Amino acid sequence: MCGCAPRTRTRRRAEPGLQNRRSGRGPGAALRSGRGTGPASRAARPGPSQTAGRSRAMGRLVALSLLGIGLALLGERFLALRNRLKASREVESLDLPNCHLIKGIEAGAEDIDILPNGLAFFSVGLKFPGLHSFAPDKPGGILLMDLKEERPRALELRVSWGFNLASFNPHGISTFIDGDDTVYLFVVNHPEFKNTVEIFKFEEEENSLLHMKTIKHELLPSVNDIIAVGPTHFYATNDHYFSDPFLKYLETYLNLRWANVVYYSPDEVKLVAEGFDSANGINISPDKKYVYVADILAHEIHVLEKQPNMNLTQLKVLQLGTLVDNLSIDPSSGDIWVGCHPNGQKLFVYDPNHPPASEVLRIQNILSEKPSVTTVYINNGSVLQGSSVATVYDKKLLIGTLYQKALYCEL
């Protein structure tokens, strides 16, 4: 028999660290697996879904911020455009006593120019994107009225064979008398809404116009008005920098002030003035020293001094409280007569129940420190809608419109 003491088996409790190492669940394992063991670890190491969610939230925040800025800019531009259009302005009529509508003009007489002998040319039937038309399918034309007659009538001039009358869309006009008394008529034309300048020779005995030349140029993308300074020389206003209708609208909406004035001659074509909101009517002083430009949406008339090289230098700006369109000069006094639009929005959003009004201003001594500005005529649209030009001859006043009628008044 063995006298040895019985053998006992002792089970040792594993140390915590050893247990974790054996089970593969130690701190190192937790880090290697990428999983935290508590809230602090999860916050410090966000998972892929959390990171993506935060990126989406940040993207939405940026998009909303940009949208807000964009809407604020559009809203500010919209309010500014309404102010430039004088969209809230209403007027009370100030009619003249001895006036009557000119028979035969029912679709606008956008511009009028009068020769020293009293023959008045009318540019009629303008059609323009965004403007109402009372005769959308009828081409435009040039009418003639002899203001020396006791009862003058407006008669349409014949145009020489070969000129495309079907697409004739006349806008601003200007006359020039050469040294041999030849009369040239310059016409801004928009055939198929493009931009050309047509030069005609007026043949008085035949009451006709002989087409001489068509002018196109890249510096004439959106011609509005013209003033002739030679038989083939002129200044012209571009009311927009662009020719595309959408870009024109965007240019106007954003108030880029890229409109300009161009000088044209057969030898040289150049930009001579720029920075206008919408350069419109243009004319020249009787002594040929100064050029006047109407900035219709800025409610201004710019006085520019003509240089020997035909460049223009700005001399002064006259602020007015209305939308100034075409400018006419009284050759005897140098006074400027202006066809104006009291509310420009009504021109483009035509409502027969609330038609656009008409307004005529007379400006005296524009070169002085305090020019005199007189309101000669206002009508709320009940008689005359959308006056674009006013011109005088021997105490007779003619008022034309963009797309409606024309008025003859004895002053």
List the catalytic residues.
Answer: 171
Distance CA 323, CA 343 (A): 7
240 in helix, strand or coil?
A: coil
Q: Tokens standing for 372?
A: 């005199």
Distance CA 260, CA 306 (A): 15
| Cβ proximity of 251 and 241 under 8 Å | yes
Strand partners, 293: 282, 302
252 in helix, strand or coil?
A: helix
Q: Which residue has the tokens 């002998």?
A: 117
Q: Is 33 exposed, middle or buried (0-12, 13-18, 19+ CB in 10 A)?
A: exposed
Distance CA 120, CA 334 (A): 18
CA distances from 387 to 98, 100, 243, 247 (A): 18, 15, 25, 26
What phi, psi does 22 have (nearest 5°)? -70, -35
Give the residue from 134, 124, 129 showing the smallest Cα distance to 240. 129
How many helices (H) and strands (E) are present in the chain, helices listed first? 6, 25
Q: Which residue has the tokens 């007569």?
A: 337
Q: Tokens standing for 148?
A: 């020396």
**What is the chain's alpha carbon radius of gyration, rounded to the nearest angstrom?**
37
